[in-house]
Structure 1
Amino acid sequence: MSLSINNNTAAMAALQSLNQTTADLTKTENTVSTGKSVNTASDNPAMYSIAQNMTAQISTLSGVSTGLAFSAQVLNTATTGLSSISTALQSLATTIGTNTTGVDNSTLNEAITKTLASIDSAASGAKFQGVNLLSGQTGNGTTYTSLSTAMDAQGSTFTQNGFNVTSAGLGLTNLSMEMSGSSLALGSSTTSNTFATNNVIKMQNTAAAGTGGTVSAANPSITYNFIANTTGNDSQTSALGQVATAIGTTTGDLTVGADGLLKSSSNSILSHTTASDGSVTYALGNGDSIVQSKDGNGNAVYTANTAFDSNGNVTTKSVITDVKMASTASLSTQGGSTSAQSVQQVALMTQAMEYQGFGVSRDSSNNLTIAGNSISATSTQMGTVSAQGATISLGNSSATAFATNNVIQIGNGVSTGTADAPKITSDFIANTTGSTDTTAVDTIGKTAGLSNLSLNSTTGALTTTDTTYTLSAGTTQADGSTLYSLTTTSGGTASGTISQSTDTLGNAVYTFTSADSTAKTVVTNIDMSDTTSLSAVGGTSSAQSTAQVKSMENTLNANGYGVALDSKNNLTISGSAVDYSSTSIGKITSGAYNSGTPSSNDTTISMFAQGVASKANGFTGAATAVTGASVVSAVVQAAISSVTRTASSIGYSSTTISNLQTTTSSLSDALTTGVGALTDADLAAESAKLTSLQTKQQLAVQALSIANSQSSTLLSLFRG
């Protein structure tokens, strides 16, 4: 072995070995102490990057799991509240069932009041950390009425909309043994079904009708429209027209896209959110909102929220249901309103109303009894939705809107009528003087071809001195009208009939029908004499003029037309029998109509008009009030059904949250296992390695010590 005074090669080699062993030992000790083989990016860049991403996902899932646990508690709280409310309603149903002879209604009413208080208490108390899914409004410790939470690490959201199962939300406000429901006579016919497309049943709660106290979040104004869609029109044109009218936009603005979402041609929709139950809430530019959903039969339901309080709670809304009836097309129509098709149509309409919380029953005479949701019993109507109408300008001047014998003439647009589709002209004559029906009678007489026609001052019967025609004595009809036959004097040939009747407002109505039933003229004498005592100062804006226009509006409404007056004194008239090109305002002179201002076409409206085109026997279009224990029971049963559906929805959401919790936990466990597989150390192997490296370190230290002793050996060569 050579010795050098410049280099200690052995010591250098020993030191290098010691350094490497020490580094390996440090790394192994770190691995053993942390239990991980990959602690930093320098250990294994690829594995470290993958593990970090997986660890971040685990952290996100931890947050998701916390949110789901919170949501589960909110839903559990709501479920507990619903259970209490359901029990209270079942008890209430039993209480009402004891309404037998000898049981005082005041006793039952006291029990009802206490039960409603317990329902409100359960609903308002069902909150968890400021979230209440049952109260229907914020305030009193409730900050949120809906629930949203992340479902996964990607940020997908679970949303549960809230409900209103307070006594007001369940339509139990002012519930008593004396409360009223609506009795709507659908009528009977041997030739036509009960419903045609665009027929609609319209209802208002007492707040909307102006008889239910101050409108508020606790007492909202609600209008319901159930539109018969007998053609299977998936575009839901009429329903969306009603929605557009509710939010103040034009018919045709809202459409359903290929994706099933609402589209707005005027860009009135700012954004939308989809809840986990499939309902979609649209935020509008004017601050309103629309909720799009489906009922249990798959009918499209649109709720237009158009007024809110300072807390953002809804105070006014319209609920429009597009009732699908296309499935009845294959059923028999034999028997008209008693046919299989008609009966099924009524059943579908009834079910749609029940899904909105109404109690509905149908008797053998085709009468519907409707109760619930605090409806105004006499505000229920059946009519037609019209997507266009005629707009007449009443002008702005120093004169009042109507002078005597002014008339609004409405045509149905038929030029050559048939017996099934006659040409119809309706004249609504303003009688501002309160005189007899001279003008109306003269007009109907001239229309029938008579040189004169008048009223007998004693009997009130129609009479004529015309020698060309013979007018028969009047015969009283089942509906209370008087019918006269008109024949030629020479040959006795039938020329037509004249009907004398009154409308629901007491106005005299005269109708001439041609012998072949292809043409009909209806003349209504509107008594406006009660407006003459009002001030005429201001012309068309005066109290007198306003009252005259209101009288005209009421009469048009009573005769089945939809009417709206704008701020510029333009009167819009809609209905299935309105044609703008044959509608105008003018004056009757000597029994002849002299056209004044013609109307303009208005396709920007979607208006309800009471009544339907072909009225069945007994059909009036307006409901009457009915009372009795059966009505009260129907209201309670409807509330029970609403609570049951709410409980079903909450239960479904609870199951969904539970499944998501399980999935999240499983995924988190899988990711944790994956991270361990990528980064965890084999401690048995690392322990053996640690022992080996410790031994090697000791040997390296000893070798370095020996190598360092070479200097002493070199010096010994030079000693004497």
Structure 2
Amino acid sequence: MASDITLSNAVRNNLLSLQNTADLLGRTQERLATGKKVNSALDNPTNFFTASSLTARSSDLSSLLDSVSNSVQALKAADTGISGLTKLVESAKATARQALQAPVAYTQKPSVTSNALTGISADALTGTTNKVTGTKAGLTLDKTLNEGSITIATANGAATTITVGAAPGNAATVGDVIDQINSVSGLAARLTDTGKLEITSADGTGVQINYKGGAADLAAGPSETTGTVAVADDAALQALFATDKELTLVAEDGDTSTITLTATSTKEDLLTALNANGFSAEFDTDNQLRVGREDGQSFTVSGTAATDLGITNGTFVAASQGGSFTAPPPGTSQVSGTVAVADDAALQALAGEINLVAEDGDSATYTIDGTSTIADLTSTLTANGFTVSFDSDNQLKIARDDGQSFSVAGTGAAALGIDNGTTVPAYDPADTAGPLEQLGLSSTYSNNLDGKSLTVTTGQGTSDERTVTVSFGVGEDQVNSIAALNQAFGDAGVAVEALVVNGSLKIQSTNAAAGQTFEIEGTALGATGTDAAFTSATGTTKESTPATFGGAGDESRKAFVKDYNDLLKQINVLASDSSYNGINLLAGDDLSVVFNENGSSKLDIKGVSFDAEGLGLNDITESDFRDSQSVNNVIGKLDAALGSLRSQASKFGSNLSIVETRQNFTKELINVLDTGAANLTLADTNEEGANALALQTRQQLSTTALSLSSQADQAVLRLF
């Protein structure tokens, strides 16, 4: 709207300049008052809206910092909890180690024990070794040997028999025996420095003397004899014994088996009666009776029933020889008559007195008359160390088992075919000893472990199950010593140990695993009543005996069980208390940390369950601390728990580092945003102050100029 007032050009120009100055001064004063040079979109739309965007993002990030800060504290609370849990788990481990060092809690370890095994020793489980040394010292190569034979074999090889005697081709001297042994592949022989014969298996498979191998031999042992009469069935046996007859087996140590056979006896009755006191009896594939000694002792077979079964009455079976002969055993002094006495009547037809006198004065006397019987004669004279009987030829036989010399006198002796006054010399072992005795060798043979396998399993049906199979023998990959057997157990991690006890192999849990039971199976195990090394009711598996516990050690370890379980309770409590602001990363809570305003950048932290159960720890029972293996199993779980704690501590530490790094980054980014916004909108107060001062001066000057212009316009008034 045009002004109704007419101003001069100078006044109007000065007025306009004053108005502009006032406007600039007002704007400068506003900038000084707000500190900004852009206070609205009108000031600078680009800078205003850019600064507003930067300020808004800065504000959003600032609001996230509180959440990030809470996350940092939640992670620190979890880390603190893990540190506490670690100390508690280490305390539990210390308790377990104390239990480990306490006295043992068992009184008997689980075990299985074999039947008696012939010849077993710690260095020869199967009764064979790869070296046999005779006991006879001072032998020379030219020493002449008595007639006989020596059978030698390696455990896995064929048997070789060396015939000793004067005939061409036979071994006559010790040197000849050595030469013949050395000619056998796999065997070597020599005389030691002390003159003992030593026989060695070159291939390490073991040496067996007088070895008897093959399916045709009696499985029960090496000393044996076989009848010649076939007994097809019970009826055939009963047909032999219309009248009762007796069969007696007597071993050199006095063991005896006896049966009276009758018209009702069965083959089973016979075998049952004879299979006693170390004897073994069977009917072979030809239905002929075979009797033997499992331990290889010599024995005699006597009785009228023996003859009917095809074994000469009075047969002596030498130790480990497998042969038989009718003479009284070596080691006795003896004499035989030449007159056959078929029955009592034949004896009564004779007359006279028989006087027996031994060198130490022992004596026995009997007078034959019309009432004498064979039974009376034999029973009366069998006294004071004398043994008198009628042999299978019905001839009188007199012997001294102690080998003393004795005399036989009287007309009765002469009547029976023994010269009146006969002197029987003392038995001289050197004169009749066989080559085995002369060389100091004894029979060696394998027992029921030889060639058999045994599988031992511990921890059946659990994650700790361990099993090992061993084969017994002296061949490659076989074990024949306690050391080798225990080495096999140890290599397989089977916590058992073996030892030889009273002629049996005993396998028991180790001291460290005294509470575990185990089982065995394999060909070394058979049914009860068999000749297997180990026997069981099933014949296929055998469980170890259970452990028994007690004593001071058991009570001590029970106390440690309580201490351990109390520590697990504290683990549960501490884990539940490790929370911050309602978040417990040790109780399964998850945490999500957002780092930017739209949530596209974040860190998801997975919580864990670190109570005792979550750490793989459970309350234990008394059995868990009773032996070292059980304690070590608990310690293994504690070590795993410590590993989990340390691993999780590392993860939480890494997460904390990330969150703290992003926290610092966000703070710095907020500063960058705020600075950028300020750079776009903030005024330079120094500049604006200078502008204000200049404008104030200009305003004063403009006012003065306006005044001067106005005064110029007033000059006309002087005309009036």
* TM-score of the aligned structures, taking structure 2 as reference length: 0.35
More strand by share: 1
Structure number with bigger Rg: 2
Q: Specify which structure has the bigger relative contact order, considering alpha-carbon pairs within 8 angstroms and separated by 6 or more residues.
A: 2
